[in-house]
Amino acid sequence: MSQLRNFRIEDNKSLLGAIIKPRESNVPAHLFWDPILSDGVEVKCTLHHSQLTRLGRWTSASGRNTVRQLWHVGRNCLLISGLYLCKKCGHDSLHLAHDGKILQQLPSSVEVPFETFHKSGATKEIIDLIVGGIKNGEYCL
């Protein structure tokens, strides 16, 4: 199925040379991520295997634990993650809710709407769009 259905063509021009813009997305400009709060799951410190607890704070625009920008269809999105505390690690080594080691612990019932990479990330929506387009031969890289 064509991934182009997710887009609209400006001014009813033909596909060649047209301005193609994404249709409305369900992903907000700010994505708050805290699976302990939203799904009631338990996650553990991978170093100490002790249960992590919510600190009640979020990543912020500055400081050591900053928000993550996610690539998204049509615009980028800011991932704002909950901060988790391991009593043995202490407040100097807070855990980010979007950390890959935490995401790996989540049950399959928790849908993670993004993927994170070393210093970047992308929503599942844009990953599905790109992968689907490549599989369908719609994109040439």
- Span from 14-22, 58-66, 87-95, 115-123 in contact with Zn ion (CB under 5 A): 87-95
- Closer Cβ to Zn ion, 23 or 88, answer by number: 88
Nearest distance from C-beta of residue 85 to Zn ion, angstroms? 9
> Is residue 86 a contact residue for Zn ion (CB under 5 A)?
yes
- The DSSP line for 14-61 is -STT--EEE---SS-SEEEE-HHHHH----B-TTT-PBPEEEEEE-BS
CB of 46 to Zn ion, least distance (A): 8
Indicate the DSSP class of residue 66.
Answer: B
CB of 24 to Zn ion, least distance (A): 41
Residues 28-47 that bind Zn ion (CB under 5 A): 45, 47
Residue 48 near Zn ion by CB under 5 A: yes
**Terminal CA-CA length for the chain:** 20
Looking only at residues 119 through 138 of this chain, which bind Zn ion when binding is defined by CB under 5 A? Answer: none
The residue whose two tokens read 């049950």 is 107
Q: d(Cα 135, Cα 129) in Å, to the nearest integer?
A: 10
**Interface residue list for Zn ion (CB under 5 A):** 45, 47-48, 86, 88-89
